[in-house]
Structure 1
Amino acid sequence: MSKRPHRPTWKQRIPGGRDGRRMLVISLIDKTGTGLWATAMALYFTYVSHLGLAQVGLLIAISGGAGLVGTPLAGRLADRFPITRLLVGAQLLRAAGLLALLTTDNYALLVLYSAIGTLPDRATNVLTKLFAARVAGPERARYQAMYRTTANLGWTFGGLGAAAALAVATATAFQLLLIGNAVSYVLMAALTLRCAEPPAPARAVADSTTGARTDKPATPWRDRTFLLFTATEAALFLDDSILQVALPLWIVHATDAPVGLAPLLLVMNSVLVVLFQVPMSRFGTTTESARRLLAPLAGLFALGTLALAASALGGRTLAVVALVVAALALTFAELVHTTASWELSLSLAPDAAQGAYLGVHGLAAATQRFAGPLLLTAVISTGPLAWTLLGAGLVTTCAAQHRLVRRRTREQSLSVPTVTVSEH
């Protein structure tokens, strides 16, 4: 009698063992708490701190600028100190920055405390990405997809909780959302303390000419190819601002579609990411396979932006159909780009300076969050033609990144293999 093939349990299917599973739980808690606060942040400053619209906008812009510092700083520190301890420190600093907002209505202090909270928030993104790379090893693409899936579930749960609180719309409700997010950070810190430190890449690097070991680490700030790659990434991350910021504004100001379509399209986006992010990960497990994804990514960006332009041509039916097509195309662009970006940013970084390189790469998403809404507001003001021009620019950017990665991988294949020393 033949034996049935052994099927791994759900625990065994998660890379990274117990600590990998624990970090996924931390991700769920993180984004649930963040979803509670992010939805109500602007309203908190309006109704609790009594700030004007311009003051709120400036505060968010300044704190976003502070977040730009957090990504390279976290990457640099991660090459020198235990990553779990850095994560604990960042999570506690996020909680402290939030709770400090409850102590004052002074505008300067509110700006300062917001910046203090945003810096470690951006740093945490880099640190968790490094943790995933180290704990999952060869299965890092699958693990990162699982991480992003749990993050999207957390955002959904947090958003639903915030919607319930916002229905009350009292100062106490806004304060409870803030406190709930701060508590989530403290809980995350406690869980992170229970994680073992994942093995880090060897710190010694090899001279590219002689192969001799040297203690001088590579620096991304002198790596022209990687800096250009990061610049293209900032443009390709625009799908986030298009879906979250531009799409609702475009529906209201340029189309005949019902306003209620906007939240439905965002829900569709979240559901599709949860369903397809993990299956998509198998297409980006190597540098070459991730590079090949840039071609369909260009096509999805072209389809999405052309559909947005078509949605303004007139008529409710055309507008609704075109907007659904645009949201679908841009959602799958998000899925494809996330898969490619995750693998390429790691494979293009030297092992000995992985933290520093990923910290610089983190500037791409942070820059997009800061500048993307400004760019897209200009696109909306210009009209449908601007969407086609933006689409052409994104297609060109995909082609440029494809060429950069191909050139870099050729250089790596011709270089002398790095001599490493185990840290165990």
Structure 2
Amino acid sequence: MIRTLPARILESVSDPVLSILVTATLISRVGRGIFLAVTVLFFTLVVGLSAGEVAIILAASSGVGVLASFAGGWLADRLPVRRVLLAFTALEGLGLVGYAAIGDFVGALVFGIVVGAFGQAANTARMAILARAFGPESRVHARAVLRTVTNVSIAVGSGVGAIALAIGTAEAYRILLVVAGLLYLLAIVRLVRLPASVDDLPQGPALAELRTETGSIDAVANRRAARRAAAAHSPWRDTRFLLLTALCAVFGMQFGVGELAVPLWITQQTDASDVLVAVVLILNTVIVVCFQVPLSRGSHDFHIAGRITGIAAWLMAASCLVYAAAAGMPAWVSILLVVTAATGHAFAEVLSQAGGWGLSFELADPVRMGTYQGLFSAGYSVGAMAAPLVVAGTTESLGIIGWVILAAVFLAAGLGIRAIARHAARAESAVAPLERVVGA
């Protein structure tokens, strides 16, 4: 029997922790959708900022998000993660409410930095909860469910944001920004119900070693030893995880391709109607919503994570080449090629996200899950910041050759991630027989 998407999602959230996170996400991400729909036009039409000033605000918000991602994970390893998530969500919501009072560039810059920082920090705290509250088989599934819900909620919020665009008054923009912030604060009503178990650190030999470094009753000596042991669990000393983060950040620039390169390519290099831009965005949303959860299944396994990431690499490379081929063709051919490329691009996005999530959870040190997830999120933020420059320096400046370069970059990054997964799988296979002998 074919189950509907809502039925599959409801079945997925039988776990109480995931149920709470899903409902909180449903509420808050509607607010996020409103914010994304109106913020740029609010800056330009209501506050009166120039395009350059808006670009500075967006860049500053993204830049501080890189640091906030890591800081959020660092705090999640040292404070009760529930309180960290609640505090950051509340501050992000208050920041969105504060947007409504903005009247100049300085105010917009300050609130842009506040919202960007606390939003990224809250996201990292949420990932730390997933890493602690769920087992290997469930973490990626939970992450996929949250991403699906996020896409649906943002789409709904964008529709609500269209109200302000239709009315066109300053009051309409400001009221909807307040509504967006209040939705974040409303989500806290659900988040406070998270069980205390999400604050528990994972158990294991590494954690036992961290807690019994000296065996001394000297509190100062124990604290110093704990700091030395914690440093040994730092992701900055984990070459494999640093490489994974860098490669996933590079592949993550595919979001910039969809948001910037494809719309510009359609409008400037093809005879297709500009409506095709909206069609591509809708197609991407539908594919992500329908397939992210089922195609993420099993990606906690290194073999599966490597396989689907390899498929994503080839799909993304092929999509870049097909996008390029749409230039200069008859309109109907361009439409066919762009839709084909966008379909491959969307599935590459879904598969690469699933593989990256699985590896980021399974290759992280369980003692410092928050810090590891913070670093991984920071990598994605760096990739998002670099994406517009990379896209402008390739497709916009070099045309078809630029698309070929992008294809090569995505292929190399995806196959590099696959190589990390395969190496991890071999190492795991080599250790398993030894563990059985020791257990015997």
TM-score, structure 2 normalization: 0.87
Kindly indicate which of the two structures has a greater share of residues assigned to helix: 2
- The CA deviation at 1:21 is 0.8
Alignment of 1:167-246 (within 5 A): 167-197=166-196, 198=198, 199-202=200-203, 205=206, 215=226, 216-217=229-230, 218-246=233-261
Distance across 2 between alignment mates of 1:207 and 1:271: 46
Cross-structure match for 1:336: 351
Distance across 2 between alignment mates of 1:235 and 1:126: 19
- Flag the 1:383–1:355 CA change in 2: closer, same or farther, 3 A: same
- Flag the 1:19–1:408 CA change in 2: closer, same or farther, 3 A: closer
Native 8 Å contact 1:252 1:259 kept in 2: yes
Distance across 1 between alignment mates of 2:351 and 2:420: 18
Cross-structure match for 1:107: 105
What amino acid is the match of 1:386? G
Residues paired across the two proteins, number? 408
- The CA deviation at 1:410 is 4.6
Cross-structure match for 1:398: 414
Secondary structure of 1:58's counterpart equals helix
Native 8 Å contact 1:35 1:159 kept in 2: yes
Native 8 Å contact 1:15 1:139 kept in 2: no
What are the superposed Cα offsets for residues 108-165 of structure 1, whole Å, 9 maximum, x if unpaired? Answer: 2321221011101111222222222333323222222211111111011011111232
Distance across 2 between alignment mates of 1:77 and 1:339: 26
- The CA deviation at 1:313 is 3.4
Cross-structure match for 1:311: 326
What amino acid is the match of 2:159? L
Distance across 2 between alignment mates of 1:41 and 1:59: 11
Cross-structure match for 2:139: 140
Cross-structure match for 2:66: 68
Cross-structure match for 2:312: 297
Alignment of 1:13-32 (within 5 A): 13-14=11-12, 17-32=15-30
Native 8 Å contact 1:16 1:136 kept in 2: no
Native 8 Å contact 2:300 2:362 kept in 1: no
- The CA deviation at 1:336 is 0.2
Cross-structure match for 2:286: 271
Question: Are residue 150 (structure 1) and residue 149 (structure 2) matched?
Answer: yes
Native 8 Å contact 1:23 1:192 kept in 2: yes
What are the superposed Cα offsets for residues 296-327 of structure 1, whole Å, 9 maximum, x if unpaired? Answer: 11210122101111011321112101100111
- Flag the 1:291–1:10 CA change in 2: closer, same or farther, 3 A: closer
Native 8 Å contact 2:164 2:172 kept in 1: yes
Native 8 Å contact 2:97 2:182 kept in 1: no
Cross-structure match for 1:94: 92
What amino acid is the match of 1:200? L
TM-score, structure 1 normalization: 0.90
- Structure 1 stretch displaced more, 199-208 or 317-326: 199-208
Distance across 2 between alignment mates of 1:203 and 1:284: 23
Distance across 1 between alignment mates of 2:8 and 2:357: 23
Distance across 2 between alignment mates of 1:364 and 1:28: 26
Cross-structure match for 1:326: 341
Distance across 2 between alignment mates of 1:207 and 1:184: 41
- Flag the 1:11–1:321 CA change in 2: closer, same or farther, 3 A: closer
Native 8 Å contact 1:104 1:110 kept in 2: yes
What are the superposed Cα offsets for residues 357-413 of structure 1, whole Å, 9 maximum, x if unpaired? Answer: 110000122112211122112223220111111101111112222223333455566
Distance across 2 between alignment mates of 1:338 and 1:370: 18
Native 8 Å contact 1:203 1:353 kept in 2: no
- The CA deviation at 1:245 is 2.1
- Equivalent of 2:75 in 54, 74, 77: 77
Cross-structure match for 1:422: none
- Structure 1 stretch displaced more, 319-328 or 157-166: 157-166
Native 8 Å contact 1:239 1:333 kept in 2: no
Cross-structure match for 1:161: 160
Secondary structure of 1:405's counterpart equals helix
- The CA deviation at 1:24 is 0.5
Distance across 1 between alignment mates of 2:140 and 2:417: 20
What amino acid is the match of 1:371? A
Distance across 2 between alignment mates of 1:207 and 1:164: 55
Cross-structure match for 1:6: none
- Structure 1 stretch displaced more, 173-182 or 105-114: 105-114
Native 8 Å contact 1:225 1:408 kept in 2: no
Native 8 Å contact 1:87 1:189 kept in 2: no
Native 8 Å contact 2:66 2:379 kept in 1: no
What are the superposed Cα offsets for residues 197-219 of structure 1, whole Å, 9 maximum, x if unpaired? Answer: 324313872799xx989741200
- The CA deviation at 1:104 is 3.8
Distance across 1 between alignment mates of 2:351 and 2:8: 25
Following superposition, which runs of at least 4 residues in structure 1 exceed 3 angstroms of deviation?
9-13, 211-215, 405-418
Native 8 Å contact 1:306 1:388 kept in 2: yes
Native 8 Å contact 2:305 2:418 kept in 1: no
Distance across 1 between alignment mates of 2:305 and 2:288: 18
Native 8 Å contact 2:252 2:380 kept in 1: yes
- Flag the 1:206–1:67 CA change in 2: closer, same or farther, 3 A: closer
Distance across 1 between alignment mates of 2:352 and 2:10: 27
- List gaps (5 residues or longer) in structure 1: 1-8, 419-424
- List gaps (5 residues or longer) in structure 2: 1-6, 215-224, 436-440
Distance across 2 between alignment mates of 1:12 and 1:59: 38
Distance across 1 between alignment mates of 2:106 and 2:89: 23
What amino acid is the match of 2:390? L
- Flag the 1:289–1:314 CA change in 2: closer, same or farther, 3 A: same
